[in-house]
Amino acid sequence: MNACYTRKPSQLIEIEPVIRDRIHVIRRFSGGGTVIVDKGTVFVTFICDKDAIPGLQPYPHPIMSWTGQLYSTVFQGIPDFQLRENDYAFGNRKFGGNAQSITKGRWIHHTSFLWEYDIKNMEYLKLPVKAPKYRSERHHGEFLCQLKDFPILRSDFIEKAVSSIGSYFSVEPVELKEILASSDAVYPHTTKLLALNELQAFFPEVT
């Protein structure tokens, strides 16, 4: 299991149990909050040139609105799907968190969908200082929900997501090893797995 974050760890994670249980902590380059990542997490990422989608302005809110429309098709038939502030939710329960990175010519939008999770793992996270209004200071167990508890199979979700994405792009399945083998490009790594001493540097009182 991993915890991914962008801001100061002291504001986001409970450091003592994280170190005690040897939880991997990854600092990512994009915005958004802290995410617990395990086999129950489903990721969807868009990496796009600024002109990839006609008429879409490459700014945070237009991109969020576009993804909300895309996923409304995926979750059609499930009551009360909403894009709430920067989250995907059923009613007032969040099941998908988003992060973005936008440069002059490109943008990235990625989503962590909570297919299922162990509520105990959420104890590694602090309540965020900056939270959406609809959260109403609720703890993780009252605020989050699992997609597996709704009438959609994981395989159907993936199939419907690919179909909806196909309305905007030509979609072709590719194995990761094929991508790695075909590219000689070298990119700077701005996402980083923190070592134990780096974590402790943020929390000098913890040994």
Nearest to 69 by CA among 180, 167, 174: 167
Rounded distance, CA 139 to CA 141, Å?
A: 6
Can you name the CATH fold of 2-202?
BirA Bifunctional Protein; domain 2 (3.30.930)
pLDDT at 206: 57
Is 22 within 8 Å of 1 (Cβ atoms)? no
Higher pLDDT, 71 or 2: 71
Residues 6+ apart with CB under 8 A from 148: 115, 116, 154
Bridging pattern class, strands 2-5 and 24-27: parallel
At residue 44, does pLDDT exceed 70? yes
Rounded distance, CA 163 to CA 160, Å?
A: 5
Give the residue-averaged pLDDT of 25-49. Answer: 89
* Locus of tokens 């005690």: 20
Give the residue-averaged pLDDT of 94-99. Answer: 95
pLDDT at 176: 83
Among 16-25, 37-46, 53-62, 78-87, which is the least confidently predicted range? Answer: 16-25
pLDDT at 4: 57
- What is the reported pTM? 0.88
The full set of domain ranges for the chain reads 2-202
Confidence of residue 7 (pLDDT cuts 50, 70, 90): low
pLDDT at 66: 97
Give the residue-averaged pLDDT of 107-133. Answer: 92
Residue 149 in tokens: 């508890």
At residue 199, does pLDDT exceed 90? no
